[in-house]
Amino acid sequence: MNKKIKYLLAGVIAMFSSYCAQDNGQNEINITQLKESIKNDSSLVILDVRTQQELEGPLGKIDGIINIPLQELKNRINELEKYKNKNIAVICRSGKRSAKAKSILLEKGYKVKNVVGGMMQFRAE
Protein backbone atom coordinates (compact mmCIF):
# COMPACT_ATOMS: atom_id res chain seq x y z
CA MET A 1 0.00 0.00 0.00
CA ASN A 2 1.48 3.35 -0.90
CA LYS A 3 2.18 6.04 1.67
CA LYS A 4 -0.63 8.41 0.60
CA ILE A 5 -3.30 5.73 0.97
CA LYS A 6 -1.98 4.76 4.41
CA TYR A 7 -2.20 8.38 5.60
CA LEU A 8 -5.65 8.78 4.09
CA LEU A 9 -6.91 5.62 5.77
CA ALA A 10 -5.38 6.66 9.09
CA GLY A 11 -7.14 10.04 8.82
CA VAL A 12 -10.50 8.47 8.00
CA ILE A 13 -10.20 6.02 10.89
CA ALA A 14 -9.24 8.82 13.28
CA MET A 15 -12.18 10.98 12.16
CA PHE A 16 -14.62 8.07 12.47
CA SER A 17 -13.31 7.15 15.91
CA SER A 18 -13.57 10.75 17.05
CA TYR A 19 -17.14 10.99 15.77
CA CYS A 20 -18.20 7.79 17.52
CA ALA A 21 -16.52 8.83 20.75
CA GLN A 22 -18.30 12.19 20.71
CA ASP A 23 -21.75 10.71 20.38
CA ASN A 24 -22.07 7.29 22.07
CA GLY A 25 -25.83 7.57 21.58
CA GLN A 26 -25.97 10.42 24.10
CA ASN A 27 -27.19 12.80 21.43
CA GLU A 28 -30.15 10.71 20.35
CA ILE A 29 -33.72 10.39 21.57
CA ASN A 30 -36.48 8.03 20.58
CA ILE A 31 -40.05 8.98 19.72
CA THR A 32 -41.36 8.27 23.23
CA GLN A 33 -38.73 10.61 24.70
CA LEU A 34 -39.53 13.26 22.08
CA LYS A 35 -43.25 13.14 22.85
CA GLU A 36 -42.50 13.39 26.58
CA SER A 37 -40.21 16.37 25.95
CA ILE A 38 -42.89 18.08 23.85
CA LYS A 39 -45.29 17.76 26.80
CA ASN A 40 -42.86 18.79 29.54
CA ASP A 41 -40.29 21.15 28.00
CA SER A 42 -41.98 24.28 26.67
CA SER A 43 -38.62 25.64 25.52
CA LEU A 44 -37.82 22.57 23.36
CA VAL A 45 -36.99 23.52 19.78
CA ILE A 46 -37.84 21.01 17.06
CA LEU A 47 -35.84 21.41 13.88
CA ASP A 48 -37.23 19.51 10.90
CA VAL A 49 -34.62 19.12 8.17
CA ARG A 50 -36.96 17.78 5.47
CA THR A 51 -37.93 19.75 2.37
CA GLN A 52 -41.06 21.89 2.22
CA GLN A 53 -42.64 19.30 -0.10
CA GLU A 54 -42.10 16.59 2.50
CA LEU A 55 -43.72 18.72 5.22
CA GLU A 56 -46.82 18.91 3.03
CA GLY A 57 -46.75 15.15 2.30
CA PRO A 58 -48.46 12.23 4.04
CA LEU A 59 -46.24 12.31 7.16
CA GLY A 60 -47.09 15.97 7.75
CA LYS A 61 -45.21 17.97 10.34
CA ILE A 62 -45.18 18.58 14.07
CA ASP A 63 -46.80 21.85 15.12
CA GLY A 64 -44.37 24.64 15.95
CA ILE A 65 -41.32 23.21 14.21
CA ILE A 66 -38.57 25.21 12.58
CA ASN A 67 -37.92 24.00 9.05
CA ILE A 68 -34.47 24.25 7.53
CA PRO A 69 -33.79 21.52 4.95
CA LEU A 70 -30.51 19.71 5.54
CA GLN A 71 -29.07 20.87 2.21
CA GLU A 72 -29.55 24.50 3.37
CA LEU A 73 -28.50 24.10 7.01
CA LYS A 74 -24.88 25.20 6.73
CA ASN A 75 -25.90 28.40 4.93
CA ARG A 76 -28.83 29.15 7.24
CA ILE A 77 -27.39 28.07 10.61
CA ASN A 78 -27.38 31.69 11.82
CA GLU A 79 -31.20 31.47 11.97
CA LEU A 80 -30.77 29.11 14.94
CA GLU A 81 -28.40 31.36 16.91
CA LYS A 82 -31.17 32.54 19.26
CA TYR A 83 -31.80 28.88 20.21
CA LYS A 84 -28.16 28.06 20.98
CA ASN A 85 -28.80 27.62 24.72
CA LYS A 86 -32.01 25.61 24.27
CA ASN A 87 -32.49 21.90 23.71
CA ILE A 88 -32.96 21.17 20.03
CA ALA A 89 -34.48 17.94 18.71
CA VAL A 90 -33.68 17.36 15.03
CA ILE A 91 -36.08 15.26 12.97
CA CYS A 92 -36.44 14.15 9.36
CA ARG A 93 -38.28 11.32 7.63
CA SER A 94 -36.29 8.38 9.02
CA GLY A 95 -33.45 9.78 11.15
CA LYS A 96 -30.59 9.77 8.66
CA ARG A 97 -30.61 13.41 7.54
CA SER A 98 -31.31 14.55 11.09
CA ALA A 99 -28.22 12.62 12.25
CA LYS A 100 -26.14 14.62 9.75
CA ALA A 101 -27.78 17.86 10.90
CA LYS A 102 -27.06 16.91 14.52
CA SER A 103 -23.37 16.57 13.71
CA ILE A 104 -23.31 19.98 12.02
CA LEU A 105 -25.00 21.62 15.02
CA LEU A 106 -22.83 19.82 17.59
CA GLU A 107 -19.73 21.18 15.85
CA LYS A 108 -21.14 24.68 16.30
CA GLY A 109 -21.83 24.18 20.02
CA TYR A 110 -25.59 23.56 20.00
CA LYS A 111 -27.37 21.31 22.51
CA VAL A 112 -28.94 18.93 20.03
CA LYS A 113 -30.35 15.43 19.83
CA ASN A 114 -31.26 13.37 16.80
CA VAL A 115 -34.76 11.87 16.79
CA VAL A 116 -34.18 8.22 15.92
CA GLY A 117 -36.81 6.84 13.56
CA GLY A 118 -37.93 10.28 12.41
CA MET A 119 -41.43 11.17 11.30
CA MET A 120 -42.06 7.61 10.07
CA GLN A 121 -41.76 6.37 13.64
CA PHE A 122 -43.54 9.44 15.06
CA ARG A 123 -46.62 8.72 12.95
CA ALA A 124 -46.45 4.98 13.62
CA GLU A 125 -46.68 5.40 17.40
Instruction: Tell me which of 70, 92, 112, 116 is the catalytic residue.
Output: 92
Active site residue 20: no
- Distance (Å, whole) CA 95 – CA 86: 21
Q: Which long-range contacts (CB under 8 A, 24 or more apart) does 32-41 make?
A: 32/125, 34/89, 34/91, 34/115, 34/122, 35/125, 37/87, 37/89, 38/62, 41/87
Return the active site residues: 92
